[in-house]
């Protein structure tokens, strides 16, 4: 809370509760930039469509993406509008507490590198289920993996869609439903025609725009403070009290913080749309290098959002930010308007829109892969589908999933869906991650164990989130919740590991553990080492 407005801080701006802003008015610059982005990405899609003739091109961009390109694409897939606008907003209204999220969103990436990226590249073709099913029975494992994938993707998609509709309405003044339909149409177009090639390049363009926009904005803020971040923090502390520099009310219960931390850290390593990207590079070494690039880019991005948040706190003021949008999400756009005028506001607004479009395209592609590659090709058609049929089914799944995404976005209009991102991460950490790690590193993992850990992880996470304060108190407005934690990962992730291990020990099968030796060979040596 502000503790008075100290004058003489060396800045001409007085924090006010009402701010003159052009946010929400049709903005010619924003429309121009947005139009340019759509035209460019559809151009890319047209180019990519002529190169998308096989399933390998549709799902994995022909495996010719370079490590640097994939590093940017991974960053593009991961940096959502929620992290850009949300973290900047949280920092601008609470200060330090926003940093808890910034670190949480980043620390999963080293885990992806150490445990998942290279084995995944060498053992699978298009989805993470390829890896889990490698030496186990195809149908049950793929069905369970598809359940985990679709649960993660759908929840993430709902959160992104609802956020997109609200954001676009707020920024451009376009009605919510129209905004959702525009996002859905563009996302379907990218994936349907351009597959992974178009999706990859949309991510790269978006990552450049987002990182560039954030860098320019952070530089503009720091220029006012002789490029010294400490002077910026000091100005914020002088104005709003030294409390903004230290932990506040976000972490009340340590177990809540640890549970959320587990979901963020290990959920990143179980996100289907991130995992799928490792199939787009030529080999394991390229997969490894691309995570190194991505971690650096994403880390730099989160450090910049921290600067943006404090910049918005000093130049715009928490009350003014909350006056425009109670969640604080307009902090970065307001800062852009303050420092660079309506034109820069337009640019940042268009970047935020582009960000959402790119993320939902990645999500749709990974969901479509689970439906077509895992369920249709391997379960329904038992590997008998022709390449042409596989591609056709992948495209039908894309359109279907895109339409479902639009409908869900409209259905959940006005609902509090922010928790769904945390929930998606919790399912990824409790269903997808344990199955991946156990199948990669443990000889004794069995089909029954894998199915148990994936289904139990998904179901218990959904059940416990329903019983948690997040749903019972925040949404249903009940007095109390049966389950004490806001994010269930602290319970569900160990449970999924434990269940997977116990069930595997009870159902040990020689032919499944026998496959582990050749799996190890392929995992470390790649296709060239296959006996």
11 is a site residue for other proteins (CB under 8 A): no
Q: Which stretch binds other proteins (CB under 8 A): 170-178, 194-202, 248-256, 414-422?
A: 248-256
Site for other proteins in 383-402 (CB under 8 A): none
482 is a site residue for other proteins (CB under 8 A): no
Question: Tokens standing for 367?
Answer: 């969901």
460 is a site residue for other proteins (CB under 8 A): no
Residues 6+ apart with CB under 8 A from 69: 200, 204
Cα gap 370→374, rounded to integer Å: 5
78 is a site residue for other proteins (CB under 8 A): no
Judged by CB, which is closer to other proteins: 264, or 369? 264
Length of the chain: 531
99 is a site residue for other proteins (CB under 8 A): yes
In the complex, least distance from residue 482 CB atom to other proteins, rounded to whole angstroms: 23
247 is a site residue for other proteins (CB under 8 A): yes
Binding mask 135-174 for other proteins (x = CB under 8 A): ----------------------------------------
246 is a site residue for other proteins (CB under 8 A): yes
Q: Which stretch binds other proteins (CB under 8 A): 10-18, 293-301, 480-488, 501-509?
A: 293-301
Distances (CA, A) of 82 to 110, 159, 219, 327, 359: 21, 9, 22, 11, 11
In the complex, least distance from residue 488 CB atom to other proteins, rounded to whole angstroms: 17
- Closest alpha carbon to 442 in 397, 500, 489: 500
299 is a site residue for other proteins (CB under 8 A): yes
Cα gap 285→161, rounded to integer Å: 35
Query: Exposed, middle or buried: residue 527 (CB in 10 Å: 0-12, 13-18, 19+)?
Result: exposed
| Alpha carbon 282 to chain centroid, angstroms | 24
Judged by CB, which is closer to other proteins: 116, or 331? 116
Q: Which stretch binds other proteins (CB under 8 A): 132-140, 272-280, 362-370, 517-525?
A: 517-525
385-388: long-range pairs with CB below 8 Å, 24+: 387/54, 387/55
In the complex, least distance from residue 149 CB atom to other proteins, rounded to whole angstroms: 23
313 is a site residue for other proteins (CB under 8 A): no
441 is a site residue for other proteins (CB under 8 A): yes
Binding mask 256-275 for other proteins (x = CB under 8 A): -xx--x---x----------
Options 46, 47, 114, 482; binder of other proteins; rule CB under 8 A: 114
Residues 6+ apart with CB under 8 A from 327: 86, 89
Q: With beta carbons less than 8 A apart as the criterion, state whether 380 and 203 touch.
A: no
Q: How many residues bind other proteins (CB under 8 A)?
A: 54
90 is a site residue for other proteins (CB under 8 A): no
Query: Exposed, middle or buried: residue 249 (CB in 10 Å: 0-12, 13-18, 19+)?
Result: exposed
131 is a site residue for other proteins (CB under 8 A): no
| Cα within 13 Å of Cα(386), Cβ side | 3
Distances (CA, A) of 90 to 9, 209, 293, 306, 328: 23, 22, 27, 9, 6
| Cα within 13 Å of Cα(48), Cβ side | 28
Q: With beta carbons less than 8 A apart as the criterion, state whether 309 and 99 touch.
A: no
Cα gap 234→313, rounded to integer Å: 12
4 is a site residue for other proteins (CB under 8 A): no
237 is a site residue for other proteins (CB under 8 A): yes
In the complex, least distance from residue 228 CB atom to other proteins, rounded to whole angstroms: 8
Options 11, 125, 288, 413; binder of other proteins; rule CB under 8 A: 288
Cα gap 334→22, rounded to integer Å: 9
Judged by CB, which is closer to other proteins: 39, or 517? 517
Q: With beta carbons less than 8 A apart as the criterion, state whether 269 and 111 touch.
A: yes
107 is a site residue for other proteins (CB under 8 A): yes
In the complex, least distance from residue 222 CB atom to other proteins, rounded to whole angstroms: 13
Options 24, 32, 110, 140; binder of other proteins; rule CB under 8 A: 110
Residue whose tokens read 């980043």: 106
230 is a site residue for other proteins (CB under 8 A): yes
503 is a site residue for other proteins (CB under 8 A): no
Residues of this chain that bind other proteins (CB under 8 A): 96, 99-100, 102-104, 106-107, 109-111, 113-115, 118, 229-235, 237, 242, 245-247, 251, 253-254, 257-258, 261, 265, 285, 288-289, 291-292, 295-296, 299, 302-303, 306, 441, 517, 520-521, 524-525, 528-529, 531
């Amino acid at each position: 809370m502000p503790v008075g407005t100290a004058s003489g801080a060396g800045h001409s701006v007085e924090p006010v509760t009402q701010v003159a802003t052009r946010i929400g008015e049709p903005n010619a610059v924003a429309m121009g930039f947005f139009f340019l982005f759509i035209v460019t990405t559809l151009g890319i899609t047209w180019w990519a469509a002529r190169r998308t003739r096989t399933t390998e091109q549709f799902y994995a961009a022909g495996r010719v993406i370079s490590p640097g390109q994939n590093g940017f694409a991974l960053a593009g897939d991961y940096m959502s509008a929620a992290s850009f606008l949300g973290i900047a907003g949280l920092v601008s209204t609470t200060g330090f507490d926003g940093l808890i999220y910034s670190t949480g969103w980043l620390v999963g990436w080293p885990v992806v590198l150490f445990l998942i990226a290279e084995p995944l590249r060498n053992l699978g073709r298009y989805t993470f289920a390829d890896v889990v099913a490698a030496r186990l029975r195809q149908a049950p494992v793929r069905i369970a993996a598809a359940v985990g994938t679709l649960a993660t993707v759908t929840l993430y998609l709902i959160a992104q869609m609802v956020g997109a509709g609200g954001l676009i309405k707020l920024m451009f003044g376009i009605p919510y439903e129209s905004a959702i339909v525009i996002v859905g149409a563009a996302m379907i177009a990218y994936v349907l025609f351009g597959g992974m090639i178009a999706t990859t390049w949309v991510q790269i363009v978006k990552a450049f725009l987002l990182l560039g926009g954030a860098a320019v904005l952070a530089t503009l803020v720091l220029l006012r403070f002789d490029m010294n971040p400490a002077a910026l923090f000091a100005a914020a502390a002088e104005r709003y009290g030294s409390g903004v520099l230290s932990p506040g009310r976000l972490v009340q219960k340590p177990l809540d913080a640890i549970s959320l931390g587990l979901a963020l850290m290990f959920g990143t390593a179980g996100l289907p749309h991130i995992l799928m990207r490792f199939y787009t590079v030529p080999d394991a070494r390229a997969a490894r290098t691309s995570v190194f690039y991505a971690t650096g880019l994403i880390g730099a991005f989160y450090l910049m959002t921290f600067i943006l948040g404090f910049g918005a706190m000093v130049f715009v003021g928490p009350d003014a930010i909350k006056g425009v949008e109670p969640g604080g999400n307009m902090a970065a756009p307001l800062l852009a308007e303050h420092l660079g005028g309506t034109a820069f506001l337009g640019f940042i607004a268009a970047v935020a829109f582009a960000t959402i479009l790119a993320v939902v395209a990645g999500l749709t592609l990974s969901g479509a892969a689970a439906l077509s590659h895992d369920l249709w090709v391997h379960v329904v058609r038992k590997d008998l589908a022709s390449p042409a049929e596989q591609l056709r089914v992948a495209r039908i799944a894309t359109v279907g999933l895109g339409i479902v995404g639009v409908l869900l976005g409209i259905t959940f209009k006005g609902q509090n869906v922010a928790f769904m991102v945390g929930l998606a991460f919790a399912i990824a950490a409790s269903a997808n991650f344990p199955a991946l790690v156990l199948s990669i590193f443990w000889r004794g993992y069995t089909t029954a164990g894998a199915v148990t850990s994936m289904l139990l992880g998904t179901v218990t996470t959904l059940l416990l989130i329903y019983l948690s304060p997040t749903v019972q108190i925040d949404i249903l407005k009940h007095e109390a919740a049966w389950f004490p934690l806001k994010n269930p990962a602290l319970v569900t992730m160990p449970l999924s590991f434990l269940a997977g291990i116990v069930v595997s020990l009870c159902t040990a099968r020689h032919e499944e553990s026998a496959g582990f030796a050749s799996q190890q060979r392929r995992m470390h040596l790649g296709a060239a080492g296959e006996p």
